[in-house]
Amino acid sequence: MHSRFASFAFLLTLAASALAAPGKDHRSIEVVRLDCANTLGRREVTLFANGTIRLREGKPGEELMGLAELGPPEYQAFVDRLKAEDLSEVGRLPEGVEGEWVERCMLALALPDQAPRILHFGRYDTLPLPLSRVLTVTRDLAAKVTTLEGVDRLPDDYEPHLHDVLRRVDGNLYRVAAFSVDGKGVELDGVEQPLAIYIRREDLRKEFKALVSRRR
**160, amino acid identity:** P
Which pLDDT does position 172 carry in this prediction? 86
- Is residue 96 included in any domain, yes or no? yes
H helical segments located in the chain: 2-19, 72-83, 129-143, 204-207
Q: Are 52 and 104 members of one domain?
A: yes
Residue 7: exposure state from Cβ atoms within 10 A (0-12, 13-18, ≥19): exposed
Same domain for 45 and 90, yes or no, is yes
Q: Is 79 in the same domain as 184?
A: no
Do residue 130 and residue 174 come from a single domain?
A: no
Rounded Cα gap, residues 55 and 145, in angstroms: 7
CATH of the domain at 114: 3.30.1560
Q: Does 39 fall in a domain? A: yes
155 found inside a domain: no
Residue 91's pLDDT is 64
Q: What are phi and psi of 103, to 5 degrees?
A: -70, 130
Number of domains composing the chain = 2
Same domain for 132 and 38, yes or no, is yes
Same-domain check for residues 116 and 45? yes
Q: Do 17 and 90 fall within a single domain?
A: yes
**154 belongs to a structural domain:** no
Q: pLDDT value at position 174?
A: 94
Statement to judge: residues 84 and 175 lie in one domain: no
Q: CB under 8 Å to 116, separation ≥6 — which residues?
A: 13, 16, 17, 20, 108, 109, 110
The answer to whether residues 106 and 192 belong to one domain is: no
What is the structure's pLDDT at 9? 42
Same domain, 82 and 182: no
Domain boundary at 110, 143, 176, which? Answer: 143
In whole angstroms, what is the distance from residue 3 CA to residue 1 CA?
6
| φ, ψ (nearest 5 deg) of residue 20 | -75, -10
Considering the domain boundaries, does residue 100 fall inside one?
yes
Predicted pLDDT at 148: 75
**pLDDT on residue 215:** 84
Of 82, 89, 216, 102, which is closest to residue 162 (Cα–Cα)? 216
Do 169 and 109 share a structural domain? Answer: no
Per-residue pLDDT of the chain (216 residues; tens, 9 = 90+): 444 444 444 334 434 443 444 556 677 789 999 999 988 889 999 999 999 999 998 887 778 888 888 999 999 999 999 999 988 877 666 665 565 667 889 999 999 999 899 998 887 778 889 999 999 999 999 999 887 776 566 777 889 999 999 988 777 899 999 999 998 999 999 998 888 899 889 888 878 888 899 987
- Whether 153 is covered by a domain: the verdict is no
Q: Are residues 192 and 95 both part of a single domain?
A: no
Is residue 6 included in any domain, yes or no?
yes
What is the domain extent for residue 54? 2-143
Residue 152's pLDDT is what?
A: 62
Which of 143, 174, 203 is the last residue in one of the domains? Answer: 143
CB within 8 A of 213, min separation 6: which ones?
Answer: 164, 165
Task: Report how far residue 53's alpha carbon sits from residue 27's, in angstroms, rounded to the nearest whole number.
Answer: 10
The pLDDT score that the predictor gives to residue 19 is: 40
Supply the pLDDT for residue 125. 78
159 in a structural domain: no
